[in-house]
Structure 1
Amino acid sequence: MLKPASIKVSNHFNPRPDEQDISLLVIHNISLPAGQFATSYVEDLFLGQLDIEAHPSFVDLQGLRVSAHLFIRRDGEVIQFVPFNQRAWHAGVSSFAGRENCNDFSIGIEMEGTDDLAYTSEQYSVLIAVTDAIQKAYPKVTHERICGHCDIAPGRKTDPGKAFDWQRFLSALEK
């Protein structure tokens, strides 16, 4: 069952070069501070409101303008920051199948987590439902065009990490 998303509008997005070209789904992970969950800091980051003095690790995030289309918390809550037809700033320097600038043609979903800690059943349930809905709305997002941030930015990014169960996720998607 697809849970309705809370909407929190980020200013960290811009128009896509071609709204009809949405053809990739990128799975990420994030927690702020690293390994801490159920804080407001990820939302604050995506909304451009992160107090960098709230934690010593936030200094490196000063001035960072980043967003995702969706954020899935550990309890399964879904927050949408950027409409799917707009370009969220989640992938950074990236390439998929020889094509650069993945933000142009991808949807980015952030899972609340770390590379090494198992994701929750609630997160997988929601991610599966959301992915099925995305694939229905954007048929170019095939199973083969779902990847991790690590796949489009190798050497620079490691998420969603070894704790993400790709088999569990992909095998549960509608065919």
Structure 2
Amino acid sequence: MEEVVLVDHMDNEIGVAEKLSAHLDGSLHRAFSIFLFNSQGEMLIQRRASDKYHSSDLWSNTCCSHPRPNENLQAAAERRLYEELGMKTDLTWLLSFKYKISFDNGLIEHELDHVFVGTTDQEASLNPKEVSEVKYISPEDLKLDLAQNPDHYTFWFKELVDKVIENYPKQ
């Protein structure tokens, strides 16, 4: 059973819940999102696997998930990046934000999301249970595609991408 860390609006831990239960009742919980860039400044995005319980087959940031109870947030981000994409790189915390969205299948994402960024030119090794494909894309091409095809991307990615691009330290 996978558990998530429940938090208040200031990110103080207030308990744990089974992951699906938290997504059914919309409990605010801790999450993280990773945005990787290559040395040319292109962002690595992933298409979520088709059997994900929400937002399947949509393009999103490099990786995202939840820390386990009693797991350091940085360590959780590094662990999940390796589990999903077989990648290891230095990650830097960039910002946090809160969001809540309801999906057609009755699930609710209500997350306090910590955003990490990093730079790498590594090739990804995809975990097919999580990711169906990846690609590097320039910020300019990404913004154009987001404008033309917003329904091809996850909600949280659309909410975050401009903030990340604006605040990511240029190499």
- TM-score, length-scaled by structure 2: 0.30
By relative contact order (CA 8 Å, sep 6+), the higher-ranking structure is 1
**Structure whose residues are more often strand by fraction:** 2
Q: Structure 1 length normalisation: TM-score?
A: 0.30
